[in-house]
């Protein structure tokens, strides 16, 4: 189900080599031509003609997608699922923490052909997840624990900007980073929240 929401699927008529590319609202299509490779053009919503058997269309979800980082997220069934387990890292004053939140992103319509050609359809596991883990860990390692809550807005903006730098030439756009909960992780493994958007309090 997550995979259906997400990215990419072959159009049903591609299986039998149809003449048409049917693109629903909120989606785009890219075309692979057996002679010229992935074509630079992007097809928007509507019905479009193609050369059967010689050209293959791939459908991409061009809507804003939410990549959720939260406790209990299960990656075992589908590594392309839109999310991850909490990110564990260390602050600038050497405090172990776990981070939960959301990353809002979308496919850059103009660069979708490059995304398909250079990264492929598994760009969540190849690109979004490792970059999210890396950038969140790197950003939090530069600030002290006491500053995490008081500088949350600035931290979210910093993460958005850094992800966009990484996404820019790969066919993705980061629309926002929302930190929902940060917890101190003690040596025993117990985690205590220092702020939670959902609880609306500092513990």
Q: pLDDT value at position 32?
A: 94
CB 183 within 8 A of CB 193: yes
Q: Which CATH architecture group holds 65-196?
A: 2-Layer Sandwich (3.30)
Residues forming beta bridges with residue 30, ordered by sequence position:
58
* Cβ(57)–Cβ(30) below 8 Å: yes
Distance CA 29, CA 115 (A): 12
Confidence (pLDDT) at 188 = 56
pLDDT of residue 90: 93
Q: Per-residue pLDDT for the chain (203 aa), expressed as one digit of tens each?
A: 444 444 444 444 444 457 888 899 999 999 999 999 999 999 999 999 999 889 999 999 999 999 999 999 998 888 899 999 999 999 999 999 999 999 999 999 999 999 999 998 899 999 999 999 999 999 999 999 888 878 889 999 999 999 999 998 889 999 999 999 999 887 655 666 665 654 444 44
Two structure tokens written together for 85:
């387990």
- The position carrying tokens 């269309």 is 57
Provide the 8-state DSSP code for 125.
I
How far, CA to CA in Å, does 197 sit from each of 48, 49, 100, 138, 139? 45, 48, 10, 22, 19
What is this structure's pTM? Answer: 0.81
Can you spell out the DSSP letters for 14-48?
Answer: GTTT-SEEEE-TTEEEEEEETTTEE-S--B-SEEE
> Domain-by-domain residue ranges, the chain?
2-61, 65-196
56: its two tokens: 């293959």
């Amino acid at each position: 189900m997550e995979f259906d929401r997400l990215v990419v699927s072959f159009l049903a008529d591609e299986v039998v080599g149809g003449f048409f590319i049917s693109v629903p609202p909120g989606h785009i299509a890219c075309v692979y031509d057996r002679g010229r490779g992935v074509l630079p053009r992007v097809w928007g919503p509507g019905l479009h003609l193609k050369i059967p058997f010689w050209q293959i269309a791939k459908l991409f979800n061009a809507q804003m997608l939410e990549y959720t980082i939260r406790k209990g997220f299960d990656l075992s069934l589908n590594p392309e699922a839109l999310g991850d387990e909490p990110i564990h890292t260390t602050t600038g004053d050497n405090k172990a923490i776990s981070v939960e939140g959301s990353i809002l992103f979308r496919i850059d319509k103009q660069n979708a052909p490059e995304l398909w050609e250079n990264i492929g359809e598994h760009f969540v596991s190849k690109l979004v997840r490792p970059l999210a883990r890396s950038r969140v860990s790197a950003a939090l390692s530069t600030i002290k624990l006491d500053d995490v809550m008081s500088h949350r807005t600035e931290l979210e903006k910093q993460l958005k900007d850094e992800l966009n730098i990484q996404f820019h030439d790969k066919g993705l756009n980061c629309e926002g980073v929302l930190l929902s909960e940060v917890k101190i992780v003690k040596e025993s493994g117990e985690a205590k929240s220092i702020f939670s958007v959902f609880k609306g309090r500092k513990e």
